[in-house]
Chain A
Amino acid sequence: MGMTIGEKIIARAAGVSEVKPNDIHTVKLDRMMSNDGTTHLTVDMYKNKLKHPRIADKDKIVFIMDHNVPAENPKTAEAHKKMRNFARENGIKLYEGQGVCHQIMMEDYVCPGELIFGADSHTTSYGALGAFGTGVGCTDFLYGMVTGSSWVMVPETLRFNLHGKLREGVYARDLILTIIGDIGANGATYKIMEFAGDGAHNLSIDERMVLCNLTVEAGAKAGIVEPDEKVADYCRQHGREAVHMFKSDPDARFAAVYEYDLSQIEPVVVRPDFVDNFALLRDVREEKIPVDEVFIGSCNNGRLPDLRAAAQVVKGRKTAPSVRFLVAPASNQVYIDALKEGIITTLMEAGAMIMNSNCSVCWGSCQGVIGENEVLISTGTRNFKGRAGHPSSKVYLASAATCAASAIAGTICGPEDL
């Protein structure tokens, strides 16, 4: 019987020739990533709960500080110190303040066909390069760090056949928010979302990352785009070789198959407090909803094409006086590229505050937290109740272009409304 991409990756990691959904397998982990959201907890357990702790393979582990960077209070400073010291003591590679963890993993590590555990829910991002990335808690991370392995139950796969191209002014962000709106916030719970078809191959690696990153918001264990030459090129450009470029077999079993014509996708605005609270920009704009803050950044939507789209919208314009406009490039590499292109200048001339590369407003701590009854429109990952600050505050999700236009107008709208 044929296997899907995700099944092939698990079979490889388990050292078996075939797996099928609901089988439980012990797997070797190709790589593990942990950030400053929870690494200090893993370190505490490692030091205090295990009598003979050891690390299976330090070279497979990456620590990345991105959630509270630079530290904003003594508590996070202590958590950082713990993480930094542990990395030093054990020879673990540590990144500090160089970008959001998933962006750094993509730039420096991820290879197609790998099975990667990250102590962060948006680890699903790595499917943009044909890898199986999945989020775990700090205890699963500890187990992986000590044993080099873990267990997985093989998920079923949902197949999304994408056709054609997105129209001008419509983004991968609109596509994935549409899909989540269609299948719901638990529409892919414990499943793999696999993207293929000419429409998927038309998407850049950055766009594929937008797609895979948000699959967890539909409950998915992994999101994977069928790898192709663009993946091999990306790996080559970043000094790596793409070895395991898995594709689903013609007779692979899918729990469901969905077809999407990309030319039919429209700009989306997701309303509070759930990621599947889908609405179209053309309906929401009529309501002229005032915003207090606009954020462009995050592991979902803080890359060069996103910043470029925002700059095109705000060029020669000024942020509304009632709005705080915050931008955090996803990594220092993105930041440098945006500087060279003049994007940062354009955004600053329009009144944007440029933050260092970190999780920033998306994670509701450290930077740009919003107050009572305030409204944020964001390219971040989530709009849960209180996600970005006070429990009564509201978060809308949209593309960078829609967010940028809203910053200028002071109400939720698109670039064509300016």
Chain B
Amino acid sequence: MEKFTGKVWVLGDDIDTDIIIPTEYLALPTVEDMKQYGFSPLRPELAGQIHEGDIIVAGKNFGCGSSREQAPEIIKALKVKCVIAKSYARIFFRNSINNGLLLIENSEIQDAVKEGDEITVTLGECIEHNGRTYPVASLPDNLMDILRAGGLVKAMQQRNGLHS
């Protein structure tokens, strides 16, 4: 099982898609151009502080709102290793899997960590923090297949001979 350790950034409940990437920046040509504005209505400095391999920890209903796929793409472009939230809005959840962004659901860790802490994640098994272990469930196989391929388009390329 894949295992990784990262520094956490802690966000609250109902982090919506318009916070993750505000409408006014959607017209920028690429996600690379947009990523500096990630989370800007809430924390304008955050996108510049996130480093590769960091982990976002949040509360309930992460990603609620619009179907804009730039939301998970921004998080991926900021090289966030995974998001751990109490729950996710469903369109965001699908869009994240389709873009190869790992999402983990856990109801306890947000209340336990503080920003800057390190946590260790063992996929499909647990999160470790300060000597405590929090169990995590594994995703259904069809979703893990898409994630492992690196997203739905790459999974399509590998399948059927239709596209590759």
Contact = CB atoms under 8 A, between A and B. Distances in A.
Contacts of A163: none
B24 A274 contact: no
Interface string B1-35: 00000000000001010110011101111000000
Contacts of A121: 65-67, 91
Given A137-B98, A146-B163, A385 B26 contact: no
Contact of B29 (A54, A75, A120, A189): A75
A391 B41 contact: yes
B16 A384 contact: yes
Taking residues whose C-beta sits less than 8 angstroms from the other chain, chain B's interface range is: 35 or more
A186 B87 contact: yes
Overall SS of chain A's interface: loop
A45 interface: yes
A35 to B, nearest CB: 10
Contact of B91 (A49, A137, A387): A137
A38 B69 contact: yes
B69 to A, nearest CB: 4
Contact of B22 (A38, A142, A386): A386
Taking residues whose C-beta sits less than 8 angstroms from the other chain, chain A's interface range is: 35 or more
Interface string A114-145: 00000111000000000000011111101100
Interface string A209-252: 00000001101010000000000000000000000000000000
Contact of A385 (B42, B61, B89, B95): B42
A174 B88 CA distance: 26
Interface of A: 24, 37-38, 41, 45, 49-54, 68, 73, 75-76, 79, 119-121, 135-140, 142-143, 146-147, 151, 153, 185-186, 189-190, 216-217, 219, 221, 274, 363-365, 369, 382, 384-387, 391
5 smallest CB-CB distances across A and B, nearest first, come from A137-B95, A137-B69, A391-B41, A186-B61, A139-B98
